[in-house]
Chains A and B, each alone.
Chain A
Amino acid sequence: MAIAAQTDKPTLLDKMKIEDMNVYYGAFQAIKHGSLDVPENKVMALIGPSGCGKSTFLRALNRMHDLTPGARVTGKITLDGQDIYAEDVDPVTVRHRIGMVFQRPNPFPKSIFENVVYGPKIHGENNAKKLQEICERSLRSAALWDEVKDRLNRSALDLSGGQQQRLCIARVLAVEPEVILMDEPASALDPIATSKIEDLIGELKRDYTVVIVTHSMQQAARISDFTTFFLLGELIEVGTTSEIFTRPKDKRTEDYITGRYG
């Protein structure tokens, strides 16, 4: 069932277009005929009850399912019009342009500096001065610079949970992606850390396209421009956040919004 992203600005560009995505784990179909347009430089929230496939959908966008034996992704998923699952495409390059932040902060057991410049180094940047600039820029963009600028060489594992997550965001930013995928990035954090992350997301959308999975409707309402509702592996409805939350078109969406089921 294809759903077009209805917007009130017909000239919005689509950064990514997903057409008829199906995801199978062995014989089990986790995503059924999902289609979605992801507008550029906006925050798109994916909401729905647990187990409905939001994370599965998200992970298909940067080919993380390639790592799961037995997982299969079909459909056409494009970035700037180019199919990311095409034959000759190296997933490594896909992940260079589409970054991901995970639910639990997962800094490497290295220093803060080494964590941030890991990506650029891998992609070939060797100039020490350049790396320091990248590090500072990314940490500033992640709203972490002031807190860690004096201890860049200390272990990343000494940071608090919220700081580690912002470090992981900085790490992704250092690679200069165009799309940032976030899988419930604040669910493991306390409320203060969460609100810092949410503020950060609001800033990020100026330069990046953000797709965020969240199990908190309030969070979706606070930070996203567009919202997509998932249920049992299907995309039920997509629209601007205000439309979805005030005038949902599908009854199932309305039931979820009003709390009929969790």
Chain B
Amino acid sequence: MIAVRASRAHRTESLALIVLRSASGFFILSIGLLIVYLAIEGTKLFTVDHKSLADFLFSASFSPDQGHVGALAFILGSLFVTGFAIAVGGPFGVAVGVFFAELAPKRVASAMKPAIEVLVGIPSVVYGWLGLTLLVPLIRNTTGSTGFGLLAAGIVLSLMILPTVVSLSEDAMRVVPDSLREGSLALGATRWETIWQVLLPAASSGISVAVILGIARAIGETLAIQLVLGNAPVIPAGLLSPASALTSEIVMDMGGAAQGSLLQHSLFAMAFLLLLIAMGLIVLVKLVARKAA
């Protein structure tokens, strides 16, 4: 009798395993399909419409009705906005992460942490809207420009990636063993000297990962920047003039793109480019993590 009961349990187990395996396999299927579909549609610009890759990447003239599909303006826009966000949000985020790991007393930390978590949860469209109603008028009033442009988008984006960088940096600092802290302090170093000269270098790979993932978030961000960027399809002329990025361009013009049109193919090529950049960043993260081990 024991044998019969055991075999029923075992049969359930085998069935369960099949279900579990399939669910796991679904992930592989999804990313595979995604890459394939986007690669096919994304390269139609070159395979079907016979535009040149060099044109797409290096020309800033974008008017598909007339056959020009240069995406340089958008590429540069994405790079500048992301660069700004990392230059501002990166150090800021690491600083706050260091604060939580090394300086904040427990009660203060547990009071402040929920604030960071709420920042994570705020939808990107709300960030964009905040930028639109708060930041753009502010910039307009202080500088006399329209208010739209890289500055507004950069500031909004810095804010968006902040929680990511903060929590990953904090984790990276916490992993550094206490023995290093003690050793440094026992040699007569101040707390700041210990952080700057011993702990940050020791946590450098974790912090690099934090920054890279911050970049990944920034470059894929759409709504937060589209509302404040100004959406002029030209190479950014400065912090205060309207510009465009890959993501904002896609969301702006996709609605008016007829299926199979040159515009749609251009936009999908931009999407595929974004996908490649995102995957490239993951590979980078893996390399950094491997070097640390």
Contacts and interface: CB of A to CB of B under 8 A. Distances in A.
A and B touch in the complex (CB under 8 A): yes
A108 B184 contact: yes
Interface string A144-178: 00000000000000000000000010011001000
A109 to B, nearest CB: 5
B182 interface: yes
A6 interface: no
A104 B198 CA distance: 17
Contact of A123 (B183, B185, B188, B201): B188
Contact of A108 (B106, B183, B190, B193): B183
A130 interface: no
Given A69-B105, A106-B179, A110-B201, A118 B184 contact: yes
B202 interface: yes
Interface string B169-183: 000000001011111
Interface size class of A (residues with CB under 8 A): 20 to 34
A119 B198 contact: no
Contacts of A172: 186-187
A67 B191 CA distance: 10
B63 interface: no
Q: Main secondary structure on chain B at its contact with chain A?
A: helix
Interface of A: 62, 64, 67, 69, 92-96, 99-100, 102, 104, 106-110, 118-119, 122-123, 168, 171-172, 175
Contacts of B141: none
A106 B193 contact: no
Contact of B188 (A96, A102, A106, A108): A96
A171 B182 CA distance: 13
A92 B189 contact: yes
Q: Which 7 pairs between the two chains have the least Cβ-Cβ distance?
A: A96-B188, A106-B179, A95-B188, A100-B186, A106-B183, A119-B187, A122-B189
Nearest to A121: B197
Nearest to B199: A108
Contact of A122 (B177, B180, B193): B193
A92 B179 contact: no
Contacts of B202: 108-109
Interface of B: 105-106, 177, 179-190, 193, 197-198, 201-202
Contact of A109 (B186, B188, B201): B201
Contacts of A168: 183
A102 B183 contact: yes
A108 B198 CA distance: 7
B185 A99 contact: no
B185 A119 contact: no
Contact of A175 (B179, B188, B190, B201): B188
Contacts of A99: 186-188
Contacts of B187: 95, 99, 118-119, 122, 171-172, 175
Contact of A64 (B105, B106, B182, B189): B182
Contacts of B180: 106, 108-109
Contacts of A95: 185-188
Contacts of A106: 177, 179-180, 182-183
Contacts of A102: 179, 182-183, 186
A232 to B, nearest CB: 25
A104 B179 CA distance: 8
B174 to A, nearest CB: 16
A174 B180 CA distance: 17
A110 B197 CA distance: 10
Contact of A62 (B177, B186, B193): B186
19 contacts: A64-B185, A67-B181, A67-B182, A67-B185, A92-B188, A92-B189, A92-B190, A93-B188, A95-B186, A95-B187, A95-B188, A99-B187, A99-B188, A102-B183, A108-B198, A109-B202, A119-B187, A172-B187, A175-B188
Contacts of A109: 180, 201-202
